[in-house]
Amino acid sequence: MDNTLLNKMDRRQAVARLWHLGILYWKLEPVQKDLYDSFTRMESKILVWSCSRRLGKSYALSCIAIEKCLQKPNTIVKFIAPTQKHVKNIIRPLLKQIFLDCPNEIRPEFRTADNLYRFKNGSEIQLAGTDSGHAEGLRGGSADLCIVDEAGFCDDLKYIVSSILIPTTTTTRGKIILSSTPPKHFTHEFVDYIQSSKIAGNYVMKTIYDGIGPRLPLDEIEKIKEELGGENSPDFQREYLCSLQRDEESTVVPEFTAELQGQIVKDWPRPPHYDIYVAGDIGFKDFTVFLFAYYDFKMGKIIIEDELVMNGKSMTTDALADAIKKKEKLNFTNNITKEQQKPYLRVSDNNLILINDLQVLHGLTINPTAKDDSVAALNNMKILLRQERVIINPRCKTLINHLEFATWNKKQTSYARFEGHHYDAVDAIKYLCRAVQQNKNPYPANWGNGAGDSWWNGMSAISNSNKPITQSAKTFENVFNIKNKFKYGRK
């Protein structure tokens, strides 16, 4: 037998075997495999993909849907797209393409009247667009997986997810994938899902550059970029770099761009002396957000190290006091002496009853912030951000999210509401920036004459196991028996 024919036969048999096992991973390109892997790892109810065009996200979604149906009999997958025309012209042809090498004995049939693929093991892929109420046809029953493709262009997205899809996954513990390129308008409901998924950690973003390969070479990407007016053109930024295009007039902090985030969202080496500040915005129905920061006097920067976010029934005076104390201990305990450093100042909005309870019952002194000129305070914070005089630790996800997405209400009198709350972290950082005493020098009078610097450098070397041990450090170990007295992490 001809070797070429034998190899073809071997491959055909292998493909058939993989189909019978319900494994289609081999059909995917690297960027699609990354998306697939994010689905297999997902622990939350909803997973959000923000993807560039030309990556084949719809193809990856289709493969995931087929796999689910093949691997488990009587599986129901509900697959939604913006319109019935989108389903007919894009989703169905993709599914048909994928099924080309599927063995006849397991290949599903398409039932036009019901707009679904029916598998021989009883599984179904049910299809619908969101236009003209077609998605209502997917209401009821149960589903193991729900997919919304191009969610950023679907009508009534929150209603469809909350009222139609989520109830079908209650008994099955089914998952929901929302996939899309970013919508044209910042106010689309898909943006809300991007916000919440970023905070929850169930967000995946893939730009056009993640898809570079034989099917999408770099020179073709460069050609697309040129046709759309360059890398900074709004269309290229949105469609291929997954950048949400914000309206300058409705955005509260338009200064907080992706470029600025790249400069100020990072870890920061802590100086030897600093003053600690805690600032919060207190809410019950809304979020309570406290920020834990210090002022780097030498560098002239406010360093936000951590955040505390609470709301709902968990937001009690006792719980808040306990959480604040734990955060302060976690972030501001000296690694060498194990002594906890106290805040120079705590501030919050003017909830005087709660402030009094925190002082009297829990020994936490919190000063009511000045609120005489809220606009000036907001503008001051925005200027500090733009000047890169505020550094935000990446762990402050709510703060980063609120700075990025906060919008004004229609009258521009207050922040718009998002999932039942205001963008409370914006007020917290506003209070913080107003409270910091930038002219207060935390360094002792003799700092800089050599002795203080030598002491700090020696102690820093001892306390940081990643640094080489200097002669100064060895001297402190020997003279003061530091190694035995303090447990600073060296082995």
Domain boundaries, the chain: 16-241, 262-435, 457-485
DSSP 421: B
Predicted confidence (pLDDT) at residue 470 exceeds the cutoff of 60: no
Q: How confident is the model at residue 312 (pLDDT cuts 50, 70, 90)?
A: confident
Strand partners, 295: 275, 302
Predicted confidence (pLDDT) at residue 368 exceeds the cutoff of 60: yes
The reply to whether domains 16-241 and 262-435 share a CATH topology is no
Smallest CA-to-CA distance from 341 within 291, 294, 276, 295 is with 276
The pLDDT tens digits of the residues spanning 146-197 come to: 999 999 999 899 999 999 999 999 999 999 999 999 998 777 899 989 988 9
Per-residue pLDDT at 374? 87
Bigger pLDDT: 312 vs 277 = 277
Residue 75 CB neighbours (<10 A): 24
Q: Is the pTM of this model over 0.85?
A: no
Per-residue pLDDT at 446? 82
Burial class from Cβ neighbours inside 10 Å (0-12, 13-18, 19+) for residue 178 reads buried
Q: How confident is the model at residue 480 (pLDDT cuts 50, 70, 90)?
A: very low
DSSP 181: S
The answer to whether 53 and 227 are in contact (CB under 8 A) is no
Per-residue pLDDT at 486? 41
Strand partners, 206: 51
Segment 350-361 mean pLDDT: 90
Per-residue pLDDT at 473? 46
Q: How confident is the model at residue 454 (pLDDT cuts 50, 70, 90)?
A: very low
Predicted confidence (pLDDT) at residue 478 exceeds the cutoff of 90: no
Q: How confident is the model at residue 450 (pLDDT cuts 50, 70, 90)?
A: low
Q: Where are the beta strands (DSSP E) in 322-408?
A: 345-348, 367-368, 390-392
Per-residue pLDDT at 351? 83
The pLDDT tens digits of the residues spanning 25-57 come to: 999 999 999 999 999 999 999 999 999 999 999
Smallest CA-to-CA distance from 296 within 411, 441, 120 is with 441
Per-residue pLDDT at 420? 58
Per-residue pLDDT at 411? 80
Predicted confidence (pLDDT) at residue 483 exceeds the cutoff of 50: no
DSSP 422: -
- % the chain with pLDDT above 90: 69
Domain 262-435 has CATH 3.40.50.970: no
Per-residue pLDDT at 8? 58
**Phi and psi torsions of 155, nearest 5°:** -75, 145
Question: Mean pLDDT in the chain?
Answer: 88
The pLDDT tens digits of the residues spanning 387-437 come to: 999 999 999 999 999 999 888 887 888 888 776 568 899 999 999 999 999
The answer to whether 84 and 76 are in contact (CB under 8 A) is no
Predicted confidence (pLDDT) at residue 476 exceeds the cutoff of 70: no
Bigger pLDDT: 9 vs 214 = 214
| DSSP run (H or E) holding 110 | strand 109-111
Predicted confidence (pLDDT) at residue 447 exceeds the cutoff of 50: yes
Per-residue pLDDT at 419? 64
Question: Which of the residue ranges 98-102, 186-190, 338-342, 391-395 would you say has the lowest mean pLDDT?
Answer: 186-190
The pLDDT tens digits of the residues spanning 247-294 come to: 777 889 999 988 899 999 999 999 999 999 999 999 877 889 999 999
Domain 16-241 has CATH 3.40.50.300: yes
Question: Which of the residue ranges 60-74, 85-99, 276-290 would you say has the lowest mean pLDDT?
Answer: 276-290
